[in-house]
Amino acid sequence: MRLSVLDQSPIRAGATPADAIAESVELARICDRLGYHRYWLAEHHASGGLAGAAPEILIGHIAAATKDIRVGSGGVMLNHYSSLKVAETFRMLETLHPGRIDLGLGRAPGSDQHTMQALRAGPGSASIDYYPRQVLDVIGFMANDLEEDHPFRDIVAQPAGDTSPEVWLLGSSMDSASYAAHFGLPFSFAHFITPRGGDMVAEAYRNRYQPSERHPEPHINVGVFALAADTDERAQYLIKSRNLWLIRLMKGEWGPFPTPEEADAYDYGPQDMAMLEANRGRSIAGTPDVVGRQLRELADSYQTDELTIVTISHDFDARVRSYELLAEEFGLTRRAAA
């Protein structure tokens, strides 16, 4: 089983966005040494709780600070950007760190609707319906292989080279899986966003998959929230921060991640309790053996050999400890420091 990491660069209450970015870099170094396979950076905008607004910049810094782990986006929200510019950015990253860069593409706003309007401001902005064409253009620019009649076929995404980033499609719906299958791309399903029905999405992806030159077989990984601690009591205490943050997020509040003490003191109304129950399936928390068992069961249901772990706690050391415990539970091979 391969374990990878999705880092949303969470901002802790009492800390700053700069602290969140520094913790992302430090966590990447640690996960590289622990033997994790990939380290993906998320994209969110105008959020008081998530600091990763420019994964394409953070990827380069983290790739330079690590040695063996693959580094990439989880993902770039392509509907905000030019396909050529995304291809050029990631070709540059690949040139600087050959064989280690992943380009995960998504189509979620990564923000509220008002911020999305600001991101798309300008006469060249495209609607979400154009997303499949954008994906095809990114693939074409990456390989310098646009269709014969493409108006930009003569443009070469620089810096050109013998290798190119591995392109993934990310999503939490059947639509994203269908695009990945159609284009012959690996697919990452966000179980931590949509915990129900994901196994059917994965099955449809495999059944509809059209082999591509680089990916003759379908490949799927699954993003899941998991938090391991030395005791179950400790794990259940730590996860209270994210549980309250999710409740506030569903109310349109994009603030930092509260402390467990704040979560304990919060006055949960009936609506809050209903949201808490609805979110229960989106998280796994407990001792490493319990978390490991549930992760293996989840991997079996998706028929995958790779899980991408999202772990957030107010205590950064506890977050690190969770990744350490899961590395031990799954027998990851430790690497030398960069």
Q: What is the CATH number of the domain that holds 67?
A: 3.20.20.30
Residue 335 lies in a domain: no
Residue 115 has a pLDDT of: 63
Summarize the confidence of residues 164-177 as an average pLDDT: 95
Q: Does the pLDDT at position 280 exceed 90?
A: no
Q: Does the pLDDT at position 110 exceed 60?
A: no
Residue 215 lies in a domain: yes
Residue 274 lies in a domain: no
Residue 282 has a pLDDT of: 86
Residue 243 lies in a domain: no
Summarize the confidence of residues 195-209 as an average pLDDT: 96
Q: Does the pLDDT at position 239 exceed 90?
A: yes
Q: How many structural domains are present in the chain?
A: 1
User: Which secondary-structure segment (H or E) carries 187?
Assistant: strand 187-190
Q: Residue 72 region, left (φ>0) first, then alpha (ψ -120 to 50), else beta? A: beta
Residue 107 has a pLDDT of: 87
Question: DSSP string of 82-147?
Answer: -HHHHHHHHHHHHHHSTT-EEEEEE-S-SS-HHHHHHHT-STT---GGGHHHHHHHHHHHHHT---
State residue 88 phi and psi, 5-degree precision: -65, -45
Residue 278 lies in a domain: no
Q: Does the pLDDT at position 117 exceed 70?
A: no
What range defines the domain where residue 185 resides?
A: 2-231+283-329
The pair of structure tokens assigned to 316 is 């950064």
- Could you tell me the pLDDT band of residue 288, with boundaries at 50, 70 and 90? very high
Residue 176 lies in a domain: yes
> CA-based diameter of the chain, in Å?
63
- Could you tell me the pLDDT band of residue 278, with boundaries at 50, 70 and 90? confident
Residue 14 has a pLDDT of: 97
Q: What's the Cα-to-Cα distance from 105 to each of 71, 132, 213, 241, rounded to whole Å?
A: 14, 11, 19, 28
Summarize the confidence of residues 313-326 as an average pLDDT: 98
pLDDT 10s digits, 69-94:
999 999 999 988 899 999 999 999 99
Residue 337 lies in a domain: no
Place of tokens 């939490």: 172
Residue 70 lies in a domain: yes
Kindly state the percentage of the chain with pLDDT values over 90.
79
User: Which secondary-structure segment (H or E) carries 190?
Assistant: strand 187-190
Residue 125 has a pLDDT of: 59
